[in-house]
Amino acid sequence: MAVSEAVIRESMNEDPPASNGWFQLAVPAEGSTVSVKKIVRHIGDGKPVDISDILKKLKGHKVVHGVNADAIYELLQKVEDNDIPEDAVVIASSDVIQGEDGALEWHIEGLEDKGSETMVCADMHIATLKKAIKGKPGKNVFGKIKQPRPIYDPQIQPGNGISVEEESEGVFVYKSEYAGELKIEEDRLFIDFHLSLSEDQMQATMDIPAGRLNGAANLIAEQDILAILQLSGITHGILNDNILDAITKQGETPGFVKNILVAKGKEARDGVDARLQIDDELAVGKLLESGQIDFHEKSYPWNIKTSEVIGQVIPSVEEENGFNVVGKVIPAKPALGANLVLEGIKEESDGKLISLGNGVLLVNGRELKVTDSLLIKGDVCHRTGNIHSDQTVIVKGYVEPGFILDSKGDVVIEDNVEQSEVRANGSIVIKSGVRGSQSKVISRGNITAGFIENARMRALGDIVVENSLVSCDSFCRGELRVGKSSSKKSTLIGGVTRAIGGIVAANLGSEGFKKTDISVGCHPDLLQKSRKLSEELTKIERQLNKLEHLLLQHSQSSATSEQRTLSKLKLDQRKLRKEFERLTKEQEKLQKIIAISRKSTVQISQHVFPGVNIQILDKVYEVRKKENAGLFFLEDELIIFRPAA
């Protein structure tokens, strides 16, 4: 034992063998980092690893960027302290900043199953989205430019009914704002309300979500559905009872209650016009529902006594506007008042119409009057002679050939007018009819007759013929009507007929009659006159412009002769301006008449036959084949025939 111990002590006193320190580098090809993966401390008098050794080695590997000298010094110090790290030590790094992937976490199942209905209620946590963080390019350890690696960045856009809140930096929480079916299409997340609106926006139907969902504290309630309707712009006509019934019947089981009517608009209710209710036995004609008088049906007598009740005004019923479910007002037709023009008649507070004197009751549209009358109990003939009266004339018989009946009021004739002349400042009513080429009926109001043949008719109002108008020369500023819409045989045939306000006839022309000329609207001469007025106005406008220039020139001179010229120019200017204003007013009046005339039409309720020529303004339509009911009208400077529906 003693020998062995001596040997050991001797060996410990010997100097250890010398050995240099050494190291190994790990240099990945992509140049992201360089690390010292192994380093060995020197022994004895061996050479320790120096920083220059490491730098030289790095240079040999062409590492020129991102070298961390502090990391190298720290490593070498640990080696010197015999505290060598077990893991590799990074001594050079790329400065490329790598990004971070985003992440999307769903909190509701079923979104991926397209065939399922994923129902949600308000304020449900649907998903959490962590936004990706983008990297930045830089250099690797070899000094080459490098891009950061691609990142995964999930996207989800909030759509209808979805809210988004930033919970923390870069982390977003998606929640439902309303109840409904949760859907995702491409990158868009939204709630489908299962709400349908009718084309006219008068009704809204809905698959109502109801019940209690897992994790929800409360049942889906009526206010949840009302919030959906409000968001969708449905604000009127909401049917709360329907909504509440659907939710109640569903109970706690979550699901959709299908096809529930949740809102209904209100139709407009047109006003009811005031009506004139009049005793048929007193009126010259039958009062229609429209308030107009049908002179085809006449009653007698017409004599009225003082304080007699003629009729009564039934007041109007006000209109009531409607609305659709999105709140748009649907205007109702307003009610019209009676708008009566009364003469010799008083309207009481209760609407009763009372005669103020004895006389005859005459009704012309909305005009009613009781006026003194001259009653001819028989015919206008040799016994009476010609009649010239300042008051209404009532003839119980005929106006015989060759005689004249002239009234400053109205005229009512119970029988025929034959080869005679009837004139009135008011309206003319002929219960039977008018015959003869020598017959003339001229009225500043309306003309009403049972039939008219081969006569000349002139009215500033309407001409109304119960049966037929045959081979006449007729003109009225209003509307000319022959027969009713239900008439089969009433016809306007032959002659020349012109009505500015339009023509309404049962039949127009006939199979065996060759020619019937009718025209509506103003005379074509007015078109030519309007064109000439336009030319004249343009000419005057040029003259005025020229005068303005001359006035400016002469106004700059103070010479006496120039002042005289200036005065004459001003006088000419005043005359031209006055003429321009006069012609402008005349042109405006013509243009208004022409515009109204363009809307004049010819309406047929039964048939129109070949041989009928229809003129509207200066356009002519020749009927070449038999047509059934329809309407002739002017469109784009052409006369069009549109068959009745």
pLDDT tens column, 229-241: 999 999 999 999 9
3-state secondary structure of 108: coil
Q: How far is CA 568 from the centre of its chain?
A: 57
* pLDDT digits 0-9 by tens, 194-234: 999 999 999 999 999 999 988 777 899 999 999 999 999 99
Distance CA 202, CA 221 (A): 25
User: 6 vs 14, which has greater pLDDT?
Assistant: 14
- Reduced to 3 states, what is the DSSP secondary structure of residue 417? strand
pLDDT given for residue 547 in this prediction: 83
Give me the half-sphere count of Cα atoms (radius 13 Å) on the Cβ side of residue 283. Answer: 26
- Confidence class for position 598, pLDDT limits 50, 70, 90: confident
Whole-number pLDDT of residue 287: 46
| pLDDT score recorded for residue 637 | 85
111 contact partners, CB below 8 Å, separation of at least 6: 118, 182, 183, 184
Rounded Cα–Cα distance for residues 272 and 313 (Å) = 13
Cα angle, residue 298 at apex, residues 292 and 300 outer, rounded to 5°: 125
Q: Is the alpha carbon torsion for 363, 368, 374, 375 positive or negative?
A: positive
**What confidence tier does 281 reach under pLDDT thresholds 50, 70, 90?**
low
Inter-residue contact 389 to 406 (CB < 8 Å): yes
Q: Which amino acid is at 601?
A: T
Q: Classify 164 as helix, strand or coil.
A: strand
Which percentage of the chain shows pLDDT scores above 70? 90
- Are the beta carbons of 374 and 320 closer than 8 angstroms? no
Write the CB contacts of 263 (distance below 8 Å, at least 6 apart in sequence). Answer: 203, 204, 229, 234, 236, 237, 238, 239, 325
Q: Where do the domains of the chain lie? A: 2-93, 103-264, 273-317+335-363, 524-597
- Verify cis geometry, omega within 30 degrees of 0, for the bond prior to 154: no
Residue 215 has a pLDDT of 75
pLDDT at 486: 78
Confidence of residue 298 (pLDDT cuts 50, 70, 90): very low
d(CA 241, CA 223): 12
* Interval 148-195: pLDDT, tens: 999 999 988 999 999 999 999 999 999 999 999 998 888 899 999 999
Six-digit token pair at 391?
């008051």
The amino acid at residue 610 is P
Residue 280 pLDDT: 55
DSSP states of 558-577: --HHHHHHHHHHHHHHHHHH
Q: Measured between alpha carbons, how far is 500 from 614 in angstroms, rounded to an integer?
A: 13
pLDDT (tens digit per residue) in 8-36: 444 445 556 789 999 999 999 999 999 99
Q: What is the 3-state secondary structure (H, E, C) of 330-362?
A: ECCCCCCCCCCEEECEEECCCCEEEECCCEEEE
Average pLDDT value for the chain: 86
Tokens of 622: 């020749």
Nearest to 179 by CA among 242, 245, 110, 226: 226
**Exposure letters 153-169 (e unless 16+ CB within 10 A, then b):** beebebebbbebeeeee
* H/E segment holding residue 246: helix 240-250
Tens-digit pLDDT profile for residues 495-545: 999 999 999 999 999 887 779 999 998 888 888 888 898 898 999 888 888
Strand partners, 120: 180
CB within 8 A of 422, min separation 6: which ones? 399, 404, 405, 406, 411, 413, 428, 430, 440, 441, 442
Predicted confidence band at 117 (pLDDT cuts at 50, 70, 90)? low
Reported residue count of the chain is: 645
State the Rg of the chain over Cα.
52
How confident is the model over 270-281, as a mean pLDDT? 76
